[in-house]
Amino acid sequence: MTRSRTAYLLVAPGLLWLLVFFVAPVVQLASVSLQSPFPGYPGYYYRDVNVGNYVVALTQFAPQLGRSLLYAAIATVLCLALAFPLAYTMVFKAPRWRGLIMVLVVAPFFTSFLLRTIAWRQILADEGPLASSLRALHLLPGGHLTETAAAVVAGLTYNFLPFMVLPLYASLERVDPTLLEAGADLYGSPWQTFQRVTAPLALPGVMAGTLLTFIPAAGDYVNAELLGSEHGTKMVGNVIDAQFFRVIGGYPIAAALSFTLMAIILALVVVQVRRFGTEHLT
């Protein structure tokens, strides 16, 4: 009796915070996404069930929506490819340096991700060292490194890499190294040992890392803004940002787009949870 009352008291503040600052705003956003503009008063809306906002969101901005999902998916795969060797090395090859490497992975956060993305923009700039030497070697067919889709994807990969490293490390750390030795003792080649032992044991980390990189990457607009071009690399976040802050009367469309993005991501999460179970996600 007292035990359950204590439990409620402990849960209440956090639950209340989430209800007020997460659930209520999302419900409000849902209602805005159905509002209609007040005729003759730009920037004012009335309550409505205007499904047309979703039609506009899905037709007019379909390229940006698709691009967001595609860029985020490629960046997630690249993150996995880069994070796995690092996490593997931390756990199995350099256990003494684990702590230090962990610090080094998180520390760049403090330089501010904007400052680091701006630095990438300058490093990759047309007059920068990388682009000019590649041009001199005739290895740069388009002539540019920035303002390309590749630059946006590279930026996303860079920015969300730590979110892949941390969960991968956490799950590999729980792997008993003697299992790997057993794999080798049973005449498994390194590749077989990796395939049959290491990879399945790392799966929970891969799942968590995939979600933690894909979700923020799909909603990001800073990389597209700083590394992409004016046309052809904009993501859905750029549209939402612009509709909110720069387009008068854009609120309902922005809300509808936000909601669509959230629905797509939740659907993907549910599919993944169904396939792999929930306990590994959080």
Partner 1 sequence: MRRRLADHAVTIVAVLVLVYLFVPVAYTFIFSFNDYKKSNIAWNPQGSPTLKHWADPCGAPGVCEALGTSLQVGLVATAISTVIGTSMAIALVRLRARGRRLTDVLVFLPMATPEVVLGASLLTLFVQGFSRWGWQLGFWSIVAAHVMFTLSFVVVTVRARLQSMDPRLEEAAQDLYAGPWETFRTVTLPLLAPGIVAAALLSFALSFDDFIITTFVSGDVTTFPKYVYVAYLRGIPAEVNVIGFSMFAVATVCAVVARLVVRRAVPPSSS
Q: Which stretch binds partner 1 (CB under 8 A): 122-130, 133-141, 145-153, 195-203?
A: 122-130
Other beta carbons within 10 angstroms of residue 276's beta carbon come to 14
Under the binding rule (CB under 8 A), the answer on residue 123 touching partner 1 is: yes
* Cα distance between residue 202 and residue 12, in whole Å: 35
Within residues 140-169, the interface with partner 1 by CB under 8 A covers: 158, 161-162
Q: Which of 13, 141 has the CB closer to partner 1?
A: 13
Q: Which of 140, 170, 201, 242 binds partner 1 (CB under 8 A)?
A: 170
Q: Which of 52, 108 has the CB closer to partner 1?
A: 108
Q: Which of 46, 266, 271, 277 binds partner 1 (CB under 8 A)?
A: 266
Q: Which of 140, 244 has the CB closer to partner 1?
A: 244
What DSSP letter does each residue of 29-62 carry, written as one string? Answer: HHHHTT-EEPTTSTT-EE----THHHHHHHHHTH
Instruction: Identify the CA nearest to 257 among candidates 62, 27, 35, 44.
Output: 62
Size of the site for partner 1 (CB under 8 A): 87
Q: Which of 108, 135, 150, 280 binds partner 1 (CB under 8 A)?
A: 108
* Cα distance between residue 88 and residue 91, in whole Å: 5
Under the binding rule (CB under 8 A), the answer on residue 47 touching partner 1 is: no
Q: Which of 44, 66, 109, 247 binds partner 1 (CB under 8 A)?
A: 109
Provide the minimum distance between the beta carbon of 104 and partner 1 in the complex, in angstroms, as a whole number.
Answer: 6
Q: Which of 141, 212 has the CB closer to partner 1?
A: 212
Burial state string for 174-192 with b = 16 or more CB within 10 A and e = fewer than 16: ebeeeebeebeeeebeeee
Under the binding rule (CB under 8 A), the answer on residue 201 touching partner 1 is: no
Under the binding rule (CB under 8 A), the answer on residue 71 touching partner 1 is: no
Q: Which of 74, 265 has the CB closer to partner 1?
A: 265
Q: Which stretch binds partner 1 (CB under 8 A): 15-23, 58-66, 138-146, 197-205?
A: 15-23
Under the binding rule (CB under 8 A), the answer on residue 247 touching partner 1 is: no
Under the binding rule (CB under 8 A), the answer on residue 251 touching partner 1 is: yes
